[in-house]
């Protein structure tokens, strides 16, 4: 806001401005009504606009003996205004966009169409050559500007009001046309000053497609802030005691939350501008915004009209639009919502067609049907078995089957218990995820490994399992048989399923992109079905193994080889532990990793104590002593772990996995490069995502790919999701994804749609994508 | 059940604090106007109660505000003040600007300003603490209230229906306070009892 910074000087400023106002009013009185033909106003287009005071005074100074404003006042205006166009020349019959660009001093603002509790929007009047038609100005999404006890709606810093102008079809080429705008607007800090600007724009007329002007980037930037009409978003409104509810149903495939959304009413006497607008969810899964009526409501409104604006970083569609045009009929409160179809959002005249504007609707990636999502989930579940982070656990499972030998009933029970463990865990994780999502947090699949505490715990678990497999010590029946290690029984099989699932989650994202994305935005029951299918898919090979003896006969017989096999399996466990320590190190720094390793050492010591003096062969006294020692070691290990997590340090920008030429991703960076005419390649990645690392090594860092990237001057951006980052989460959501990896290529042509690459990359896939673009 | 109990407790607590603070709710059409007493720029005290039996207009005032200036330099508000005072209406202009803010003047300076602007109000009341402004939830200058002889709020909102600071817009505006007094004093129902209060923010402390 910057208002605070003005506090100190406010008294003086107010006085000065009041003085200015006084002379302004004096002048205004004299000049009101003769706005045309002003001799002193042949000023260049880009001159400062000032307050009415200065316009008036300047005019008078050139004509008669009116009071002159001092030079000091003349050089301290609070705003500038320009008339800009997105084209350098125009052509008969081809519409183009013009913008009224207002730049404001820090702490000053101007208003939206509904200014809120005080103030006024833009009043504009065109002077156009014959046959030219101008649409009314469209307002970019405003900010809420609180000024207790009032609230205004407007713009700080700068704004471009946009209008489309259509030249007549019979306009002759060769000459040029002059477009003139007379604009009245308010410039406000704590006090408000009416500003008047007469601005002209001279544009050549050519018989050629209009080329973008230097201001086209500015216009594009503000066109992207215009609210969009999108019939995929269902909106409806109902009367409540003292206000209204506005229900907003996202389209299928949309991910994100309306938490923090704010509804700007078009009508200044519809709502209380000061009141909070709590956002909730309805039972049907729509978002419900609670609105408080204005004390000045003139009657019963028929419609709720305005713009719903999402907080920074969230978007209504893949193009990143934050404002949604709402026009919903007001129903009486007793109507049963669920029975009727969504009412489409009316396309009000607020959306301006900008030549380069990308009005893409919600991305289709997540819009798969439930059946397709379930099939994807099943297939994805089966593939999960082959993922490196699941493999060691499942190897153990195979070991468990082997130990069962010919006990077919036992194997079947085992298989079912394992399946149950997998499915239940998937459901539990999904339930948790949905609960968190509902509460508004930006969470994506794979989030478990974004928490250092979970990483540390998993590292310790993997390490201890490795120690057990390696034979350092054995766990008694009384201890939990996590992972079914060397044991048997349904309980242990169930726990194997649980463990396998927890470890598998980070691997699901690459294969499950669309299905998981779809599951998370579906109504809870459907989402759970998809997740359940994922679990079933993962358990299928083991159930098959346990049910069909023909398959199980292929399993080796139990024997001494098992011990060897078990010990060999310790190494993948340690490998996983090393990977987890590495991830932890990325999250907490080298000191954190060292503390975690110290903790692991203490766990190893505790394991050694237990293995050296097994409970069954020592006296009670010794047992107490050794177990106390082991417990002590575990406590030290825990303390080390906690210290490691506490010592968490921020990631260096971009993470250390980023090669030198990769810039840190931001939506703004993408926009910047694209508007500079560069193609952009975005690598959405995370340290804990193995597929991401593989893709980077194999494809993105391949010499052939790097060469082509360099040749085509592709801007390379890396979005590192190792730690939770809401901006990245919502960017993923805009592509219908909730996890990494995701590779997106934005062609150099700014109007072209971004291309999403497959989750498994080869150099050829990347090269072909780049090739395809240049050939079109 | 629990939620209801909580809501009741909250309402009760709110009610108690409201009573304790002596605060009445914001004005509503058809409800009694909140009572107040304020000094004017000549030192006299005015309370709403003393005008029982008379029509009262409250006008929130800030001479520095371009919207107020529009209605004064055009003669719109002074003209209405003169016309209705002649018919027995009490027209109180209230300045709620805090000291140091636009529109705040000490009593003597306020008299000079009022004379310069051609004010014909019955009195200009000084509310530098903003107490009465907040009591009426006055948002802007000029924010208008019309109170009938029984002390009931019958109109609140803007002076007219064209919310701009431009003088020339007066030509196409309907003067709503004027209409409310016209209808109200003729014993008719007021056709437009509320409108958008438009203007500058009241410069509260």
Provide the pLDDT for residue A47: 33
Residues 6+ apart with CB under 8 A from A65: none
B202 lies within 8 A of chain A by CB: yes
Q: What share of chain A is helix, strand, coil (3-state, %, to 5)?
A: 45, 20, 35
Helix axes A391-404, A561-612, angle to 10 degrees: 100
A522 has pLDDT over 90: no
Strand pairing of A150-156 and A192-204?
Answer: unpaired
Is B187 buried (19+), middle (13-18) or exposed (0-12) by CB count in 10 A?
Answer: exposed
For residue range A442-454, what is the model confidence (pLDDT) as tens digits?
444 444 555 677 7
- When pLDDT is cut at 50, 70 and 90, the band that residue B186 belongs to is very high
Q: What's the pLDDT score for residue A394? A: 61
Q: List pLDDT tens digits, range A370-403.
A: 677 778 778 777 766 665 555 556 666 665 665 6
**Does the pLDDT of residue A49 top 70, yes or no?**
no
Query: Where is mean pLDDT largest: A58-67, A146-155, A397-406, A568-577?
Result: A146-155
Q: pLDDT-derived band of residue A562, with 50, 70 and 90 as boundaries?
A: low
Q: CB-based contact (8 Å) between A12 and chain B? A: no
Q: Kindly state the average pLDDT of the residues A527-543.
A: 80
Q: From the CA of A6, how many Å to the nearest CA of chain B?
A: 13
Going by pLDDT thresholds of 50, 70 and 90, the confidence category of residue A35 is very low
Q: Write out chain B residues lying below 8 Å of A297, CB-based.
A: 194
| Residue of A123, A147, A191 lying closest to B164 (CB–CB) | A123
Higher pLDDT, A311 or A33: A311
| Confidence at A313, pLDDT banded by 50, 70, 90 | confident
- pLDDT tens digits, residue range A655-693? 333 344 788 888 888 888 888 888 899 999 887 676 677
Strand partners, A324: A228, A308
By CB atoms closer than 10 A (0-12, 13-18, 19+), residue A489 is middle
Quick: pLDDT tens for B121-178.
999 999 999 999 989 989 999 999 999 999 999 999 999 998 888 888 899 999 999 9
How far is the CA of A597 from the CAs of A372, A608, A637, in angstroms?
44, 16, 9
Q: Taking a C-beta distance cutoff of 8 angstroms, is the pair A488, A505 a contact?
A: no
Q: In whole angstroms, how large is the CA radius of gyration of chain A?
A: 33
Candidate from B28, B73, B163 with C-beta closest to A120: B163
Choose, out of A21, A55, A117, the residue to mutate when testing the contact with B (most B CBs < 10 Å): A117
Residue of A nearest to B143 (CA): A118
Residue A77 has pLDDT above 80, yes or no: no
Residue to mutate among B23, B31, B64, B172, with most A CBs inside 10 A, is: B64
**Mean pLDDT taken over chain A:** 72
Strands A123-127 and A176-188, bridge-based pairing: antiparallel
- Residue range A239-251: average pLDDT? 85
For A350, the token pair is: 């607020």
Residue A1 and residue A276: Cα distance in Å, rounded? 19
Contact A367, A521 (CB under 8 A): no
For the ranges A305-319, A400-414, A678-692, B90-104, the lowest mean pLDDT is seen at A400-414
For chain B, say whether A186 makes contact (Cβ under 8 Å).
yes
Res A179: pLDDT = 93
The stretch A157-161 carries a mean pLDDT of 93
Whether A192 sits inside 8 A of B198 (CB atoms) is: no
pLDDT computed for residue A498 by the predictor: 77
pLDDT in tens, A339-358: 233 322 222 222 222 222 22
Query: CA of B90 to nearest chain A CA: how many angstroms apart?
Result: 24
User: What Å distances lie between residue A228 and A224, A249, A308, A322, A567, CA to CA?
Assistant: 9, 15, 10, 8, 61
| Buried/exposed A216-252: b ≥16 CB within 10 Å, e otherwise | bbbbbbbbbbbbbbbebbbbbbbbeeebbbbbbbbbb
Whether residue A721 lies within 8 A of chain B, CB to CB, comes out as: no
Q: How confident is the model at residue A271 (pLDDT cuts 50, 70, 90)?
A: very high
Q: Which of B26, B165, B201 lies nearest to residue A147, judging by beta carbons? A: B201
A123 contact residues in B (CB cutoff 8 A):
164, 166
Q: What is the pLDDT of residues A599-641, one digit of tens each?
A: 999 999 988 888 888 766 677 777 788 888 888 888 888 888 8
Among the partner-chain residues A152, A190, A298, the one whose CB lies closest to the CB of B203 is A190
At residue B155, what are phi and psi to the nearest 5 degrees?
-145, 140
How many angstroms away from the CA of A311 is the closest CA of chain B?
26
Nearest to B204 among A24, A25, A149 (CB): A149
pLDDT at A628: 86
Candidate ranges A493-507, A686-700, B101-115; pick with highest mean pLDDT: B101-115
Identify the pLDDT of residue B19: 34
Q: What is the pLDDT, as a whole number, of residue B178?
A: 95
User: What is the number of alpha carbons within 13 Å of residue A358 lying toward its C-beta?
Assistant: 19
| CB within 8 Å: B204 and A148 | yes
Reported confidence tier of residue A483, pLDDT bands at 50, 70, 90:
very low
Q: What is the DSSP letter of A698?
A: I
Average pLDDT over residues A230-245: 83
E strands present in B53-187: 56-60, 90-95, 123-126, 140-141, 144-147, 153-157
Mean per-residue pLDDT for A570-583?
81
A299 touches B at CB < 8 Å: no
CB of B34 within 8 Å of a chain A CB? The answer is no
**Who has greater pLDDT, A666 or B4?**
A666
Residue A748: per-residue pLDDT: 82
Label residue B179 by pLDDT band (50, 70, 90): very high
Q: Which of A25, A152, A298 has the CB atom closest to B194's CB atom?
A: A298
Q: What angle do CA B93, B95, B97 make, to 5 degrees?
A: 160
**Contact call for residues A104 and A158 (beta carbons, < 8 A):** yes
- Flag whether pLDDT at A163 surpasses 90: yes
For residues A75 and A505, which has the higher predicted lDDT (pLDDT)? A505
pLDDT for A90: 92
Intra-chain end-to-end CA distance of chain B, in Å: 42
What percent of chain A has pLDDT above 90?
Answer: 11
List chain A residues with CB under 8 Å of B192: 298
Highest mean pLDDT: which of A329-338, A659-668, A741-750, B173-182? B173-182
Q: Is B174 on the interface with A (CB under 8 A)?
A: no
Distance, CA of A523 to CA of A328 (rounded, Å) = 23
Nearest Cα of chain B lies from the Cα of A298 at a distance, in angstroms, of: 6
Using CA coordinates, name the residue in chain A closest to B203: A190
| pLDDT tens per residue, range A180-195 | 999 888 888 877 778 8
Better-scored residue on pLDDT, A304 or A56: A304
Nearest by CB to residue A192, choosing from B163, B164, B200, is: B200
- Residue of chain B nearest A115, judged by CA positions: B198
Determine, for residues B28 and A295 on separate chains, whether the beta-carbon distance falls below 8 Å: yes
B45 pLDDT exceeds 70?
yes
Residues of A in contact with B165 (CB under 8 A): 120, 186, 194
Q: Does A507 have pLDDT greater than 70?
A: no
pTM for the full predicted model: 0.48
Closest of A134, A131, A109 to residue A121, by C-alpha: A109
Provide the ipTM: 0.74
Question: Pick the residue with more confidence: A397 or A206?
Answer: A206
Question: In whole angstroms, what is the distance from residue A554 CA to residue A546 CA?
Answer: 12
Q: Which residue of A has its CA nearest to B64?
A: A18
Q: Do A123 and B166 touch (CB under 8 A)?
A: yes
Strands A287-292 and A279-281, by their bridges, are: antiparallel
Task: Please judge whether B73 and A269 are an interchain contact, meaning their C-beta atoms are less than 8 angstroms apart.
Answer: no
């Amino acid at each position: 806001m910057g208002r605070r910074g003005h506090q100190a000087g406010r008294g003086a400023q107010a006085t000065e401005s009041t003085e200015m106002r006084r002379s302004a009013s004096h002048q205004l009185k004299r000049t009101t009504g003769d706005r045309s033909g002003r001799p002193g106003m042949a000023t260049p287009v880009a001159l400062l606009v000032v307050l009415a005071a200065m316009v008036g005074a300047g005019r008078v100074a050139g004509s008669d003996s009116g009071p002159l404003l001092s030079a000091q006042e003349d050089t301290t205006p609070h705003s500038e205004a320009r008339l800009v166009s997105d084209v350098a020349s125009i052509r008969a019959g081809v519409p183009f966009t013009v913008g009224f660009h207002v730049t404001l001093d820090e702490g000053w603002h101007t208003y939206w169409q509904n200014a809120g509790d005080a103030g006024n929007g833009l009043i504009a009047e065109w002077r156009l050559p014959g046959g030219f038609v101008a649409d009314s100005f469209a307002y970019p999404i405003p900010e809420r500007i609180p000024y207790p006890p009032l609230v205004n709606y407007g713009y700080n810093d700068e704004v471009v009001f946009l209008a489309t102008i259509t030249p007549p079809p019979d306009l002759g080429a060769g000459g040029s046309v002059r477009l003139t705008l007379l604009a009245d607007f308010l410039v406000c800090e704590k006090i408000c000053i009416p500003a008047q600007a007469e601005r002209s724009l001279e544009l050549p007329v050519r018989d050629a497609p209009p080329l973008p002007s230097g201001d086209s980037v500015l216009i594009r930037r503000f066109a992207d802030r215009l609210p969009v009409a999108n019939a995929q978003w269902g909106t409806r409104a109902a009367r409540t005691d003292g206000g209204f509810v506005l229900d907003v149903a996202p389209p299928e495939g949309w991910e994100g939350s309306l938490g923090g959304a704010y509804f700007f009413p078009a009508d200044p006497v519809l709502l209380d501008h000061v009141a909070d607008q709590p956002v909730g969810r309805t039972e049907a899964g729509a978002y419900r915004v609670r609105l408080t009526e204005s004390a000045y409501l003139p009657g019963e409104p028929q419609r709720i009209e305005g713009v719903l604006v999402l907080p920074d970083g969230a978007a209504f569609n893949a193009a990143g639009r934050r404002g949604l045009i709402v026009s919903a009929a007001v129903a009486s409160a007793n109507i049963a919502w669920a029975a009727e179809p969504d009412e489409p959002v009316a396309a009000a005249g607020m959306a301006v067609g900008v030549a380069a504007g990308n009005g893409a609707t919600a991305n289709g990636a997540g819009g798969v049907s439930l059946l397709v999502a379930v099939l994807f989930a099943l297939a994805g579940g089966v593939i999960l078995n082959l993922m490196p982070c699941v493999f060691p656990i499942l190897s153990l499972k195979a070991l468990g089957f082997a130990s069962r030998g010919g006990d077919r009933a036992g194997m079947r029970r085992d298989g079912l218990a394992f399946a149950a463990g997998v499915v239940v865990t998937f459901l539990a994780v999904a339930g948790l995820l949905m609960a968190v999502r509902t509460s508004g947090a930006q969470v994506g699949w794979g989030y478990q490994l974004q928490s250092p505490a979970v990483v540390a715990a998993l590292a310790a678990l993997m390490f201890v399992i490795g120690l057990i497999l390696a034979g350092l010590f054995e766990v008694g029946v009384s201890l939990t048989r996590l992972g079914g290690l060397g044991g048997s029984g349904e309980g242990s099989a169930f726990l194997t399923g649980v463990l396998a699932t927890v470890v598998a989650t980070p691997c699901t994202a690459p294969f499950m992109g669309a299905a998981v994305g779809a599951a998370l935005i579906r109504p809870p029951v459907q989402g759970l079905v998809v997740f359940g299918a994922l679990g079933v898919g993962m358990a299928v090979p083991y159930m098959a193994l346990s049910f069909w003896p023909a398959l199980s006969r292929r399993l080796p017989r139990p024997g001494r080889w098992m011990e060897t096999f078990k010990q060999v399996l310790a190494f993948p466990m340690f490998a996983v532990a090393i990977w987890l320590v590495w991830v932890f190190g990325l999250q907490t720094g080298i000191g954190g990793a060292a503390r975690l390793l110290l903790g692991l050492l203490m766990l190893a010591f505790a394991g050694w104590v237990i293995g050296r003096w097994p409970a069954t062969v020592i006296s009670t006294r010794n047992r107490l002593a050794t177990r106390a020692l082991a417990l002590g070691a575990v406590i030290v290990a825990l303390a080390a772990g906690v210290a490691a997590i506490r010592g968490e340090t921020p990631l260096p920008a971009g993470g250390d996995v980023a090669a030198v030429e990769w810039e840190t991703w931001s939506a703004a960076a993408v926009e910047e490069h694209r508007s500079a005419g560069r193609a952009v390649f975005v690598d959405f990645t995370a340290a804990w995502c193995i597929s991401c690392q593989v893709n980077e090594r194999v494809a993105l860092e391949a010499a052939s790919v790097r060469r082509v990237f360099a040749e085509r001057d592709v801007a390379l951006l890396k979005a590192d999701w190792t730690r939770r980052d809401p901006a990245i989460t919502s960017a993923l959501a805009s592509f219908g994804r909730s996890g990494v990896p995701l590779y997106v290529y934005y062609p150099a042509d700014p109007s072209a749609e971004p291309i999403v690459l497959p989750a498994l990359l080869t150099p050829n896939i990347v090269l072909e994508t780049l090739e395809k673009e240049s050939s079109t | 059940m629990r939620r209801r109990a909580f809501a009741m407790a909250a309402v009760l607590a709110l009610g108690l604090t409201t009573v304790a603070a002596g605060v009445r709710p914001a004005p509503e059409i058809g409800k009694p106007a909140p009572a107040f007493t304020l000094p004017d720029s000549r030192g006299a005290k005015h309370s709403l109660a003393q005008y029982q039996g008379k029509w009262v207009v409250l006008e929130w005032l800030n001479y520095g505000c371009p919207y107020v200036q529009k209605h004064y330099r055009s003669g719109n508000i002074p003209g209405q003040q003169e016309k209705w005072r002649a018919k027995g209406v009490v027209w109180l202009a209230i300045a709620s600007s805090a000291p140091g803010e636009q529109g705040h003047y000490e009593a003597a300076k306020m008299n000079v300003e009022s004379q310069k602007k051609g004010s014909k109000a019955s009195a200009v009341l000084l509310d530098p603490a903003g107490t009465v402004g907040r009591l009426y939830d006055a948002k802007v200058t000029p924010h208008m209230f019309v109170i009938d002889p029984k002390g009931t709020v019958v109109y609140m909102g803007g002076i007219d229906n064209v919310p701009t600071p431009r003088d020339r817009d007066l030509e196409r505006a309907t003067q709503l306070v004027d209409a409310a007094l016209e209808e109200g004093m003729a014993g008719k129902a007021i056709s437009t009892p509320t409108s958008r209060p438009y203007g500058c923010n009241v410069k509260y402390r």
